Amino acid sequence: MEFARHKSHVTAELKSTFLQSANLQTPIVAVPGIGSVTAERLKKENIRTIGDLTSRVNSFADLKDLCGKVNCHRIFDCLEPFLENCKAEYDAQPAADVEVLERAMKKFALVDPKEDKALAKEASKCVVC
């Protein structure tokens, strides 16, 4: 089983909120997807913080072995900035999702991109006294 971002089902808001407050000393129970059962499992492996966990993870398979199958996609996705050793697994994600999103955003755009740039240029000339 490989990491699949679409299987994480973590909202951008939840991930953003977590990342704003998380650091390597943050307790593992703060990671979305790590509940009491997974936390106990990790504590038996002497893993109590995000730093402890990420120092032991070099791939999605490593995380799955440590945490179990439940929520492993969610946990891996939320820990993305802390998992430098796993960068290749994120880079392997298909760009199709991004392209679909960009097309949808253009479809619903209220202003033409060229007009946006012109408006931004005019706004940058404004000076508030």
Q: Give percent of the chain with pLDDT exceeding 70.
A: 71
Tell me which residue of 81, 85, 83 sits closest to 22, measured CA to CA: 81
- The model carries a pTM of 0.67
Strand-pair partners of 27: 49
Domain residue spans of the chain: 5-91, 96-125
Please report, in angstroms and rounded to a whole number, the separation of the first and last CA atoms in the chain: 59
- Identify the sign of the CA torsion 60, 54, 67, 71: negative
pLDDT at 50: 94
pLDDT at 2 over 70: yes
- Mean predicted lDDT score pLDDT of the chain: 82
**36-91 per-position pLDDT tens digit:** 999 999 999 999 999 999 999 988 999 999 998 889 999 999 998 888 767 666 65
CB distance 50 to 28 below 8 Å:
yes
Tell me which residue of 81, 71, 90 sits closest to 33, measured CA to CA: 71
CATH code of 5-91, in short, is: 1.10.150
